[in-house]
């Protein structure tokens, strides 16, 4: 029982920090908000902020969980070609975003698209996500598979940036499909 209470309290504080940060980033700009101001706005100490997030970048950038990637990959028949499995998994994720998760993704990618530092960091997260895909697909040691998967994740990141830049005016699934379709012509 006490552990459940601690977990709920941790999750509540985590969300409160995130919400305060997004509000400040939207109002003042990402680069203009120091961690001390984020912590104060969330009603926590700087030490508590760091207990929840490694830094501001990690507050915005989020790697998928391995189990989530495994589930996406498992949702596509294993007998399909690697390109199709990868693009179908990505599109499955995008099409599954709705409600608060969709709004949150848009807010994050709007911020990433307009912040040079975060655009740069997005490439790091893209590579780490590609590695999760490669591991889940069981092809991490295959150089050709690495090219295919990383190209798909790069196209996906570019689509997210374009979507963020549009402020959500462009339909996310359509932008992602367009980016992934561009790979077929190569």
Residue 138's pLDDT is 95
Find where tokens 């969300």 sit: 15
pLDDT value of residue 1? 64
Sorting pLDDT into bands at 50, 70 and 90, what band is 69?
A: very high
Res 57 pLDDT > 80: yes
**Per-residue pLDDT averaged across 2-9, rounded?**
86
Which of 1-5, 43-47, 59-63 shows the lowest mean pLDDT across its residues? 1-5
Q: What are phi and psi of 60, to 5 degrees?
A: -90, -45
Q: Are 131 and 140 in contact (CB under 8 A)?
A: yes
pTM exceeding 0.85? yes
Say how far apart CA 157 and CA 3 lie, in whole Å.
37
Band of the pLDDT at 97, cuts 50, 70, 90?
very high
CA dist 115 and 133 (Å) reads 26
Average pLDDT over residues 148-158: 97
Q: Which domains, and CATH codes, for the chain? A: 2-59 (1.10.10.60), 62-184 (1.10.357.10)
Q: Rg of the chain over CA atoms, in angstroms?
A: 18
pLDDT recorded at residue 89: 96
User: What pLDDT does 171 receive?
Assistant: 96
Average pLDDT over residues 162-183: 97
Residue 106 has pLDDT above 70, yes or no: yes
C-alpha to C-alpha distance for 126 and 120, rounded to whole angstroms? 10
Per-residue confidence (pLDDT) for residue 116, from 0 to 100: 94
3-state secondary structure of 4: helix
Q: With bands split at pLDDT 50, 70 and 90, how would you rate the model's confidence at 185?
A: confident
Question: Any residues with CB less than 8 A from the CB of 90 and at least 6 apart, and which?
Answer: 72, 152, 153, 156, 176, 180
For the chain, give the percent of residues with pLDDT over 90: 95
Tell me the pLDDT tens digit for each residue of 124-143. Answer: 999 999 999 999 999 999 99
């Amino acid at each position: 029982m006490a552990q459940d209470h601690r977990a709920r309290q941790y999750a509540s504080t985590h969300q409160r920090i995130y919400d305060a940060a997004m509000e400040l980033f939207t109002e003042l700009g990402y680069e203009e908000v120091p961690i001390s101001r984020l912590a104060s706005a969330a009603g926590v100490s700087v030490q508590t902020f760091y207990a929840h997030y490694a830094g501001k970048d990690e507050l915005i950038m989020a790697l998928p969980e391995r189990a989530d990637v495994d589930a996406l990959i498992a949702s596509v028949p294993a007998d399909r070609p690697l390109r199709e499995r990868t693009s179908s998994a990505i599109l499955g994720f995008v099409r599954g975003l709705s409600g608060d998760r969709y709004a949150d993704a848009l807010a994050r990618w709007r911020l990433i698209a307009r912040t040079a530092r975060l655009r740069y960091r997005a490439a790091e997260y893209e590579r780490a996500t590609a590695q999760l895909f490669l591991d889940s697909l069981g092809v991490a040691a295959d150089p050709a598979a690495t090219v295919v998967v990383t190209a798909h994740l790069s196209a996906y990141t570019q689509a997210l940036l374009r979507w963020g830049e549009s402020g959500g005016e462009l339909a996310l699934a359509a932008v992602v499909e367009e980016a992934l379709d561009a790979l077929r012509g190569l």
